[in-house]
Amino acid sequence: MIGYLRCCILCLLNFVAFAVSAQHYVLTGKVTEIKGSNVPFVSVYVDNTTQGTSSNIDGQYKLTLPAGKVELLFTAVGYEDRRVTVVMKENTILDIVLAPKIFMLNDVIIKSRTEDLANEMIKKVIAKRKTYLNEIDAFSTEVYTKAMQKLVSAPKRFFGRDVATILDLDSNRQGIIYLSETESKLDFKQRDKVKEIMISSKIAGDNNGFSFNKASDLIVNFYNNVLFEDKLSVRGFVSPVADNAFSYYKYKFLGNSEENGKTISKIQVIPKRGSLPVFSGVIYIVKDSWRINAVNLFVTKENGIELIDTLTVKQQLVEIGDVYVPQSIQFSIAGKILGFKFTGYVMGVYKNYNIQPHFNKNFFTKEILRVERSSNQKDPLYWEKHRSVPLTLEEHNNYVRKDSISALKASQKYLDSVDRIKNRFNMAQILVTPYVYYRSYNKKSITYDPLATSVFYTTIEGLALKYAVNLRQGFDDGRFYSIRPEARYGFANERFNANIKAKYLYDPIRNATISVGFGSEVANLNSLEQTNLLRNSINALFFGKNVAKFYERRFFNVEASREFAPSFELKLSVDYAKRIALSNSNFKSLRSSTRFTSNNPFTPEDENNLLFPEHKALVVSGTLAYTVAQKYITRPDGRFYMESDYPRVEFNYKRGIRGVFGSSVDYDFISVEVYQKKLHFGMLGKSSILLGAGKFLTSKSLNYPDWKHFRANQSMVFDPDERNFQFLDFYIFNTTKQYFEAHFQHNFGSFFLSKIPLLKQLKLEEIIGGAYLSSPEKRNYNEFYFGIKRLNFRIHYGYAYDRDELIKKGFKFSYGFNL
């Protein structure tokens, strides 16, 4: 009996001991410096582990710890590390004061000597750069991210609308416009293999939304020669420890500090010229091993950064075994655009590293991020327990206010009230831009075309009207369908055309759609239409050039597309049409006595010679497209592709079928196109390249609309597509046989102009390019051009050669987004 009682007591004592050891408590506090100022983004870790957190922008931190004695390490860039022992018996408040790190210069060192010392240290870091760049083959970690963007000032109205109402700002037109947090499991392997699973996601004021934060976007390795390439500028920014860093930087030794038995050297990073694509600030180097310990660097618009004025990067690394890994990172931004002044930050806190993970052979795929369906369903208690970085008071109030009305915002009453404001009729809006009528609660919208683009002039129709309305119905799971009726009438030829087209996206994950259309329309003879009706109207009325040529088609078509595997898209279509050649109804422009050329591009002086006889055509076609190594994100509401650094390959087959429904066409056409939009060359910028070839395998019976058409251009104002020919005629050099085409364009990203004092402030980017075409109709046609661009404006001067003969030259202008 006594033995039994002893056994029970021992079991009870073991149970109590286990319960005590399993108990966890919350440690909170605030980190300040000696003068009382808050210290933001302080790393707070259990010593000799990667379990920890970071303080917020106000210096507040929160950490869940097991009961008992715990050794904590507080570390921040520019401050002395502080180790604290805390005994966790209950929830505890612990405020910490950090002393600025003092970097001592040994003896008296004159200025030139500080530069020499810094240069010697940087040379040693550069010598180790490749070793440290690849020393960690793989790792797994847990990442907490938080992003916050805030407007600090804004105009009262923007495009006639009240800014404070639309963006939910206070009376001073200030406020947080985006606040989001995520928790992710991140796996990484060298050669850019990434797999991220987002397990929790929160957006202020949107309980059904999924955050766009990506932990993989925060991976920054300053051992790379160039960082942020084609993200913040075309060329990116040279690392302070790049192989060629001495061509861009000067360095100054600011002193040494002892930390955990290691000597940390502080080195100031100074651009040799203000306009170079480089960083400014300080980096911290571990002496003897010559590793980067931390960075506090920034770039400004003077360095070529686009859209924002300043980006600051703070990264703190921690030693695990014999290697260093990121402990925390913060990106802070500030800028002003179109009267909106903004600030913000994105931060990541890493914990529970495994630097020797084992991954199966097929563990990594092109899916770089998967957002779990339940990630946005975590309640406030979950976030209170798991949030790595405490909210500031402003962020807390933003969550409370926006989340409290989130359910209200989803109600029909609220959405209808918002729609009444958004749907207010504005004559200036409908003249220039589309007018959209919303029914947000039902996920419906009706878009009315602007009147400015609905009135136009063609030599076929004279003054003409074309108007369309687009009706769209969305669903909670990302599906939608749209219906677009369109009507067109020419007053000179008195012809009325109308059609209706419908599209249904039935599988957002596989981008699966089906489209149907029927009716009649006036179509461009070049199926790769490269001029719009407004531009063509100006050319015709004021310059006497009817650049565009048209025909009429009465049609019925069906098209289906679907991804049968990521990055593999298959598109099939069937088109049946009655085609009718058209002739001019008007013959003279307003300012020219010269008659318009014929609508038949091959007989410009003979208006009565129609391009083709009236006929019917049944055409089936298929396109198989694959983008090499294209990465993507999978969210519950769809699959979203990242822009690929590798080529897109597209195979096309088209078949004209004779004898079915009166069709008179009979041909087979096959083509292949390889297009790479971005080919990076570091500080020399980026290129795009396209190669295309095709052939009519049979051509027993076909008419001009069936020919192979090219992306041509005859206007001074052109569409900003690097795959276009800049001087090629729209129509007369299309082919019924075989062809080969090539296009090349390179953007130097201010490589040359940034060195010219008066021009570098304009941030102009240098463009060069060329194109080549060979077919039986146009052998050895070449184009070359050079020019400049700034954001979406561009001008260049070019030459076109037919074999060795110069046939065209001149300026070209564009407005729109391009390379």
Confidence of residue 306 (pLDDT cuts 50, 70, 90): confident
Residue ranges of domains in the chain, CATH in brackets: 20-98 (2.60.40.1120), 104-133+233-303 (no CATH), 136-211+306-410 (no CATH)
Residue 675 tokens, joined: 């297009």
Is residue 99 within 8 A of residue 79, CB to CB? The reply is yes
pTM value surpassing 0.75: yes
Q: State the number of CA atoms in the 13 A half-sphere of 541 facing the CB.
A: 12
pLDDT tens digits along 188-199: 998 889 999 999
Q: Strands, E, within 604-736: which ranges?
A: 615-627, 632-635, 638-641, 648-657, 666-680, 686-701
For 250-297, the three-class secondary structure string (H helix, E strand, C coil) is: EEEEEEEEEECCEEEEEEEEEECCCCCCECEEEEEEECCCCEEEEEEE
So what's the pLDDT on residue 762? 82
pLDDT tens digits along 7-40: 433 343 333 333 333 477 889 999 999 888 999 8
At residue 663, does pLDDT exceed 50?
yes
Query: 3-class DSSP state for residue 434?
Result: coil
At residue 453, does pLDDT exceed 60?
yes
Is residue 281 within 8 A of residue 212, CB to CB? The reply is no
Report the pLDDT averaged over residues 525-531: 80
If we measure between CA atoms, which residue out of 679, 674, 642 comes closest to residue 234? 679
Site of tokens 């075994």: 321
At residue 111, does pLDDT exceed 60?
no
Report the pLDDT averaged over residues 207-212: 77
If we measure between CA atoms, which residue out of 553, 441, 403, 571 comes closest to residue 488? 553
Pairwise CA distance, residues 103 & 266, whole Å: 7
Pairwise CA distance, residues 62 & 728, whole Å: 65
Q: How many percent of the chain have pLDDT more than 70?
A: 94
Average pLDDT value over all residues in the chain = 87
**Burial class of residue 141 (count of CB atoms within 10 Å of its CB; 0-12, 13-18, 19+):** buried
Is residue 381 within 8 A of residue 387, CB to CB? The reply is no
So what's the pLDDT on residue 636? 87
pLDDT tens digits along 676-726: 988 888 888 999 999 999 999 999 999 999 999 999 887 777 777 788 898
Report the pLDDT averaged over residues 544-548: 84
Pairwise CA distance, residues 272 & 278, whole Å: 9
Site of tokens 């070529």: 304
Is residue 434 within 8 A of residue 448, CB to CB? The reply is yes
If we measure between CA atoms, which residue out of 369, 262, 282 comes closest to residue 324? 262
Is residue 744 within 8 A of residue 689, CB to CB? The reply is yes
If we measure between CA atoms, which residue out of 493, 504, 501, 593 comes closest to residue 550? 493
At residue 817, does pLDDT exceed 60?
no
Pairwise CA distance, residues 325 & 43, whole Å: 13
Report the pLDDT averaged over residues 141-145: 94
At residue 489, does pLDDT exceed 90?
yes
Residue 495 tokens, joined: 């012809």
The alpha carbon of 481 is separated from its chain's Cα centroid by a whole number of angstroms, namely 25
Report the pLDDT averaged over residues 211-237: 88
Is residue 346 within 8 A of residue 218, CB to CB? The reply is yes
Give the residue, 529 or 685, on which the prediction is more confident: 685
Query: 3-class DSSP state for residue 107?
Result: coil
Instruction: Give bridge partners of residue 698 from the DSSP assignment.
Output: 668
Confidence of residue 168 (pLDDT cuts 50, 70, 90): confident
At residue 423, does pLDDT exceed 50?
yes
Query: 3-class DSSP state for residue 581?
Result: strand
So what's the pLDDT on residue 3? 44
Confidence of residue 529 (pLDDT cuts 50, 70, 90): low
Confidence of residue 816 (pLDDT cuts 50, 70, 90): low
If we measure between CA atoms, which residue out of 221, 305, 254, 231 comes closest to residue 109? 254
Report in angstroms the alpha-carbon separations of 485 from 461, 521, 700.
20, 11, 36
Report the pLDDT averaged over residues 510-538: 89
Pairwise CA distance, residues 676 & 498, whole Å: 38
So what's the pLDDT on residue 454? 92
So what's the pLDDT on residue 119? 93
Report the pLDDT averaged over residues 537-549: 83
Element (H, E) at 535: helix 533-543
The alpha carbon of 272 is separated from its chain's Cα centroid by a whole number of angstroms, namely 31
Report in angstroms the alpha-carbon separations of 266 from 263, 290, 331, 346.
10, 12, 21, 25
So what's the pLDDT on residue 8? 39
